[in-house]
Chains A and B, each alone.
Chain A
Amino acid sequence: MGQVKLITKYFETPGCEKLPVFESVGGYSRLRRIVEEEWTGEKIIATLKASSLRGLGGAGFPTGMKWGFVPKDAEPPKYLVVNADESEPGTFKDRHIIMRAPHLLIEGLTIAALAVGAHEVFVYIRGEYWEPYRVLKNALDEARKAGYVGDRIMGSGRSVHVTVHRGAGAYICGEETALLTSLEGYKGWPKLKPPFPAVKGLFRRPTLVNNVETLSYVPVVLDIGPEEFAKVGIERNGGARLFGVSGHVNRPGIYECALGTPMREVIYDLAGGIRGGKKLKAVIPGGSSCPVLTPAEIDVSLDFDSLAKLGSMLGSGGMIVMDEDTDLVKVLYRICKFYSNESCGQCTPCREGTGWMTRIMERVYRGNGTSQDLDNLVDIAEMIGGNTICPLGDAASLPVMSFIRKFRPEFEARLSRKYVPSGEIASPGAEGATR
């Protein structure tokens, strides 16, 4: 367990965003093997299944199984959609991959398209990611000219066309069905499930939706072999993933670790521990929607199942570390603001509940709340969670429940002290205007 160099080895190769450099370190050799050896979709999917690779966008669903859901006998068109709408606060891994190893993603998505029989691939990239978009477009042009994507790839009879689509800047468009709605040209609203995208996705056609990081691990799996990849991680959690460590650590950044690595090792060994020698106060393990952990919980193994047992989530791997000086009331208020701002507005509990929680949190943060407000917040969060069309409701409610339950004394202290940090918050009018 610990740090590995499966994807990050490409990061450490200077100029790897350029095709010749990428090829010099084995780039596109996996795709070439699949094309030249005429691998069937079933064989690619079986290989993925054997690797135990899980979806690294946040949900952690077994990748090979997800690929297998796309009906292989369905008439074309079938689509592959790459979710590059990385918007979860605390998460920045996909940006690194696209910026520093875009060809790895292109190789992975081409293999995935061949596996499920998709001829059209759409990369839905976060609108704010202008520079990654530019890098990816350049890389795609190179790959197209070299025959890795486009018509009759590498001289074979198979074609994979790739289109990069920039989102207009809505967090919800990272949710796979909202992403598809947005890609179809509508307001980015999640769809009711079933049907699932694998059966009826983009334009009601079978569609595989995968995250950038997941697809970037596909060439790695084929490179080292699925069994070896699985052995990197632990049972049911194959391989490794990129952990984006941010917050009050000495060396924030991207660390690639085997699944199963203890969180303590990532924070204290790789990221250099808490800055200024201060004490750790709290960690959000996988993006702002994941329930917060206390210092007593950081010996948890970083894998999907262990964090679920602890009542939290591995999520996107965006680890937000907070030291003893952190104002958790303010943190939660900020998180609430984010989710209420980004709620798509489609279903009632999320639309109304997230805004309501934010306004209560604003009062609590200003020191004008009551203990009853804290109870109400937990109750409201409970009633949002699980009752919405998409997981944004859960994403908004889980932090509220976990922060208040685990750090209630801090919230109570804020209420009794009537404490308002000076200069940290503008007048109510100006604050309201930002929403």
Chain B
Amino acid sequence: MSGGETKMVKTTIDGREYEFAEGATILEAARSVGIMIPHYCYHPGLSIAGACRMCLVEIEKIPKLQISCYMTVGEGMVVHTDTERVKRARKSILEFHLVNHPTDCPVCDQAGECGLQEYYMLHGLYTSRIRENKVRKTKKAFPVGPNIMLDQERCILCSRCVRFCREVSKSHELGMFKRGDREVIDTFSGRQVDNPYAGNVVDICPVGALTSRDSRFKTRSWYQQTAESVCPRCSRGCNIFIHYNIKRPWKNEGRKVVRLKPRFNAEVNKWWICDEGRFCFKYIDDPDRLSAPLRRVDGASETIDWPAALAIAAERMLAAASAQERDLAVLVSPQASNEELFLLKKVCDERLPGWRAAFSAATPFEPTEDDFLRRADKNPNTFGARALGLGEDKSMDLAQLKRAALEGRIGTLLVCYTDLTGLTGEAGQGWDAALEKVDTLIYLGHNDCATAQRADLVLPAATFAEREGTVTNFEGRIQLQRRAFDPAGESLPGWEILRRLGETLGGEYEFEGPEQVFQRLAETVPQLAGLSYESIGPAGCPVKK
């Protein structure tokens, strides 16, 4: 081989000859041509254990059955994945897995997502030969960390979680103890599974041994619906699934979002997400959601309708933009999607000339960072905001905005998605006095906060799960967050609020949806030229440098 070329080998699987890259495992090669070989311990993101023995296949000229997760394809190799011998072996392996596995499917939270159930329906014996009592193990539904529950009896000892803690999080909390059928996974003495990526062990557990303390028993998997999205918790933009439940609103303590799970993206997060992202969704269903536009009159807030709210906003913003002494300032947050940022800038530029943009990447979150996924910038769209020219020299930063407000130079201030007093460190200090000097404070966001409570006008916005939009991660990969369900109460997607505000201000912004906003955005921003929702695709795509 030279020049990095991949050598290809011809291998026959189930009677058809294919060409595969040399070195590919039989399991992966078969999967690439649509032949699924059952497996438990194999996970593409982990080292090969070869322990579950579920992926046995027959290879001509080799007397014993071989595990396809470890054997690689070879020139002229003839593999059978579906012979009577293979089927018998699979049935037996499943039977072995079930010898000591409690068949507590009706009360196991993995029901519906259990590898044992699924493969048993395909390959099982159906008539049990097991008359013996099962080996009792010590820890039945026992917390092994702040977010993880362990049930040793259900564990099939595939070692995925142990390998994850050893190879991916490199935190080494889990080990395999004892021998034979007394063997268990457990934490090492004095340790708990509390690493920043701990939740992934729940995702990769093929049975109900490791479950999430947050979402277990909240709603059955078959009641959950799924939307593809991008994690909003930092600038990595990990690909996620939003699992939500709107079919049984009385389940999950009334929450719509049940859990977030990682979605594979080879370029961004592979198979994993961090726990900060995984558990960041609680605000979506929080009782403090801003569900209707509010105005404050004599210190008390009252609900108003959208036309009235937007009329007030337009009037105050226009007044400040037109005033000589006092400015209109808009605090732009990279929490917003590209579409929201684009419309905000467009409306202000076209209808409110003289507006002053303030840009802040500050968040209430600790700037945790590591060499794996977590990024110190806790905004999903800083790159996108900068591509739109926000945060450049002509914008104010947060300190400048604060100073301008204190000096009485801000007439109307629109704050987007930022609780000013809740920001970490110095960024969050001194806002009480500064906001005191602002004539009109308008807050656009999704949850109640100190800033919202001070605001003269509150415009309730949808969360990332309730609107469609694109965000661009720190590496310049633009990705799509799909809408999972309707916005809470009367809140509206940010782009929709801004479109209506623009129209209230007398402009014409006839976008039918975020996709049309994005089309205009792609025509306007050179880095996004030629892109569309379709071309972004499920894995996102890099923007032009």
Contacts and interface: CB of A to CB of B under 8 A. Distances in A.
Interface in A1-39: none
A347 interface: yes
A347 B179 contact: no
B498 interface: no
A435 B100 CA distance: 15
B432 interface: no
A257 B176 CA distance: 44
B180 to A, nearest CB: 4
A348 B50 contact: no
Interface in B80-99: 88-89, 92-93, 95-97, 99
Interface string B148-189: 000000001100000000000000000110111111000000
A386 B351 CA distance: 77
A58 interface: no
Interface string A188-203: 0000100000000000
Interface in A199-234: none
A383 interface: yes
B183 A351 contact: yes
B340 to A, nearest CB: 52
Given A192-B70, A387-B93, A355 B176 contact: no
Given A352-B99, A352-B100, A383-B89, A187 B50 contact: no
Contact of A435 (B48, B64, B92, B182): B182
Interface in A161-203: 170, 172, 187, 192
B130 interface: yes
A345 B179 CA distance: 5
A386 B53 contact: no
Contact of A348 (B51, B70, B176): B51
Interface in A351-403: 351-356, 359-360, 363, 376, 380, 383, 386-389
Contacts of B178: 345
B375 to A, nearest CB: 34
Interface string B297-324: 0000000000000000000000000000
Q: Tell which of B48, B51, B96 has the most Cβ of chain A within 10 Å.
A: B96
Contact of B97 (A344, A346, A352, A389): A352
B65 A342 contact: no
Contacts of B56: 387
A114 B344 CA distance: 79
Interface string B33-52: 00000000000000011111
B116 to A, nearest CB: 12
A344 B53 CA distance: 15
Given A345-B178, A352-B97, A355-B99, A387 B48 contact: no
Nearest to A387: B53
Contacts of A354: 180-181
Contact of A192 (B50, B157, B175, B179): B50
Given A340-B181, A341-B180, A352-B99, A347 B53 contact: yes
A386 B63 CA distance: 9
Given A387-B93, A389-B51, A348 B156 contact: yes
B16 interface: no
Interface in B90-130: 92-93, 95-97, 99-100, 129-130
B51 A355 contact: no
Contact of A341 (B93, B96, B179): B179
Interface in B125-148: 129-133, 135
A273 to B, nearest CB: 38
Grouping DSSP codes into helix (H, G, I), strand (E, B) and loop, the B interface class, with mixed when no group exceeds half, is loop
Contacts of B133: 359
Nearest to B178: A345
A345 B92 contact: no
A192 B48 contact: yes
Nearest to B179: A345
A400 to B, nearest CB: 15
A353 B96 contact: yes
Contacts of B176: 187, 345
A389 B484 CA distance: 45
Contacts of A349: 53, 92-93, 96
A166 B144 CA distance: 33
A348 B97 contact: yes
Nearest to B48: A192
A197 B254 CA distance: 58
A345 B180 contact: yes
A352 B96 contact: yes
B50 A389 contact: yes
Given A355-B135, A386-B64, A343 B51 contact: no
B181 A355 contact: yes
B438 to A, nearest CB: 64
B51 A376 contact: no
A347 B93 CA distance: 10
B182 A386 contact: no
A274 to B, nearest CB: 35
Given A376-B129, A383-B89, A383-B92, A170 B53 contact: no
21 contacts: A172-B179, A187-B175, A192-B48, A342-B179, A343-B180, A344-B179, A345-B178, A346-B51, A347-B52, A347-B53, A348-B96, A349-B53, A352-B97, A354-B181, A355-B100, A355-B135, A359-B132, A360-B131, A387-B64, A387-B65, A389-B50
Given A344-B179, A348-B53, A383-B93, 13 more contacts: A341-B179, A342-B180, A343-B180, A345-B176, A347-B51, A348-B156, A351-B181, A354-B180, A355-B135, A356-B96, A359-B133, A387-B93, A389-B51
The 7 closest A-B pairs by CB, nearest first: A345-B183, A355-B181, A383-B92, A343-B180, A359-B132, A352-B96, A352-B99
